Structure 1
Amino acid sequence: MWLLSYILPVVRLYLVGVKVLIYQLFNKPFTLPALPRRKGRVAIVTGGAKGLGYETSRHLASLGMHVIIAGNEDEEGLAAVKKIHQETIQEKVEFMYLDLASLKSVRQFVRRFESRGLPLHVLVNNAGVMLVPEQVTEDGFELHFGLNYLGHFLLTNLLLDALKNSGRSGSCSRVVTVSSATHYGGCLSLNDLQGRSCYSPHGAYSQSKLALVLLTYHLQERLQGQGDAVTANAVDPGMVDTALYEHLCRPAQMAKRPVAKLLFRTPNEGASTAIYAAASPELEGVGGLYLYNGRKTESSAVSYDKRLQTQLWAKSCDLVGLQKA
């Protein structure tokens, strides 16, 4: 039974991966349309110093946005800021420390941001870890669930007032959350969110990405119900050649190298859908979407379960110490 519980998430994840690669073999990557300048708008990009996050930060800065790269490695973050400044000399880009594996750090980040008195028009929940060996966060949560999901859940909720205050009719603020096709193979048990009954890094990663889609849909429903000028969408970057795959098993690592050169998207191509969701006029006022390769796509059947969305939201509020209302 234990062996089956461990193997099934592995099989699901790799089957999803094969389907994505077949799609990418026969379909060109999404090409960003020309986007208007967004001077005066402020964006926060978690994990914005490398990979998809860096490409997202760089492009939003090129549109005139004031971009705040949020990450947990100072040297890496400052190097990213310097590099973007060299490309976009007159634009505002800066680094602020944020460790999503620490709820204390999330709260400190929000307090520092609020003390600046800046508006907030775009939040890109991009940072994440994948297939790491079993670890826990500073607060004792399983790492994938704690960093990929709970850290972003708390960050988004604490920044909602800033997003609401900055949004206007015809110029909504936007929450863009990076999920993954692996959510299609994800299972979510509210009684075992930490995977303690049988830990599988593959299952933990898929669950965290499913949780992010559930969060997006429920958040959009709440915002729409309250009449707030904020939208929430989830994006799927596809399979992208980044450092996220460093924890693959050795046979998978060996197979990945030649396959990645042929079929994986580049970080710039992978980031295009997140950039589109963050800045395209075509998505003005539109939320509750799952976007893949620049198009609205159906997410997994379970992700539309409103009862599960509500229960996960309530459970998450308890875990991070937020009121449910």
Structure 2
Amino acid sequence: MWPLCLIVPVLRNYYIATKVVLQQLLGRSFLLPVLPQHDGKVAIVTGGAKGIGFYTSKHLARLGMHVIIAGNNETDGNEAVRRIQQDTLNEKVEFLFCDLASMKSIRNCVQNFKARNLSLHLLVNNAGVMFVPEGRTKDGFEAHFGVNYLGHFLLTNLLLDILRKSGTKDFNARVVTVSSATHLNGQLNFDDLQSSHSYSAHGAYAQSKLALVLFTYYLQHLLTEEGSYVTANAVDPGVVNTDLYKHLWYPGRFVKWTTGWLLLRSAEDGATSSIYTSVSPDLEGIGGCYICNGGRTKSADVSYDMELQKKLWIESCKMSALPVSA
């Protein structure tokens, strides 16, 4: 029989997901407004080959952006590029290899991007893993924490100099980070951020999504202090019908397989808040927000704790071998 410390995160996540699904079914879905063209602007979308990331990339390409899909599967990435180019008639879509489970790969990705001498107006931190069995990244970090959070923390920090140069007073560069309502269930245990004791996939996932919100808010704090024309916002896509659910408990997988098409948002619908936050004039120069269903929403109370944000930032700098900046 599983100990209570492993069962509770599962029940809490299912409770949160059920509430969100009911809100989706009973509420009004957010419809994207007509968005301005962004010809000549450059975007990087992690995990842009499938699911929410694919439809985010596709819409950005339709708006005229030069879209770079960053991912760890070259076959899927190139196929996504082909489909987006064909559907949008925008040839400026390409794939760039980036394995978020490897800090070496992330650094190589950034080095390869910088060698192109391109600007960068938008970074969408979209990729992630969910409820995976206990495992470690190539650098020894718990998989959810390492891929969902720390990989994006490092990637963002390594690209900040280009984002700063690309942003202007009238057109800020943007960092958009995809979190989840499950961050409400997240807890940061600084004595065991890698979930080495009593591993819970649901608890580890929730922790990584809370870390992304804390990271977003503190990043915006630092950007505001230095006067950079860069904004950072977090996005909640809702409960979306994607391939990420393959590690659910069997009852959850059964419900998803049989009724997911009816109860859950499609990946295209799930991408709307990411797209809106990435390019809408409504959010020009506005950062430090949690966007859900196209509107600014309150995140977990703990996510606004600046001391906690700062503590996580400092620890993350140390873990990713970056100079500590706080």
Q: Provide TM-score, normalisation by structure 1.
A: 0.99
* Paired letter, 1:111: Q
Query: Distance in 1 between the 2:22 and 2:91 partners?
Result: 39
Q: Is the 8 A contact 2:62 2:90 kept in 1?
A: no
1:236 matched residue in structure 2 = 236
Identity of aligned residues (%): 57
**How do residues 56-71 of structure 1 correspond to structure 2 at under 5 angstroms?**
56-71=56-71
Report the alpha carbon displacement of residue 252 of structure 1 after superposing the two structures with TM. 1.3
2:312 matched residue in structure 1 = 312
**How do residues 146-165 of structure 1 correspond to structure 2 at under 5 angstroms?**
146-165=146-165
Query: Distance in 2 between the 1:243 and 1:104 partners?
Result: 27
Does 2:109 match 1:109?
yes
2:25 matched residue in structure 1 = 25
2:47 matched residue in structure 1 = 47
Query: Distance in 1 between the 2:2 and 2:302 partners?
Result: 24
Q: Is the 8 A contact 1:48 1:56 kept in 2?
A: yes
SS in 2 for 1:191: coil
Query: Distance in 2 between the 1:190 and 1:156 partners?
Result: 22
1:188 matched residue in structure 2 = 188
**Quick one: structure 1 residues 90 and 21, their matched pair in 2 at CA, closer, same or farther if it must change by over 3 Å?**
closer
**Aligned pairs, how many?**
325
Does 2:225 match 1:225?
yes
SS in 2 for 1:238: coil
Q: Is the 8 A contact 1:73 1:97 kept in 2?
A: yes
Q: Is the 8 A contact 1:64 1:91 kept in 2?
A: no
SS in 2 for 1:35: coil
Query: Distance in 1 between the 2:108 and 2:77 partners?
Result: 18
Q: Output the aligned Cα RMSD.
A: 1.0
Query: Distance in 2 between the 1:162 and 1:31 partners?
Result: 32
Report the alpha carbon displacement of residue 28 of structure 1 after superposing the two structures with TM. 2.3
SS in 1 for 2:231: strand
Runs of 4+ in 1 over 6 A off after TM superposition: none
Query: Distance in 2 between the 1:40 and 1:103 partners?
Result: 30
Query: Distance in 1 between the 2:251 and 2:4 partners?
Result: 21
Q: Is the 8 A contact 2:179 2:235 kept in 1?
A: yes
SS in 1 for 2:3: helix
* Paired letter, 2:148: N
**How do residues 170-189 of structure 1 correspond to structure 2 at under 5 angstroms?**
170-189=170-189
Query: Distance in 1 between the 2:214 and 2:172 partners?
Result: 21
Query: Distance in 1 between the 2:273 and 2:90 partners?
Result: 25
- Which structure 1 segments of 5+ residues have no match? none
**The 10-residue stretch of structure 1 (162-171 or 1-10) with the greater mean CA deviation from structure 2:** 1-10
2:276 matched residue in structure 1 = 276
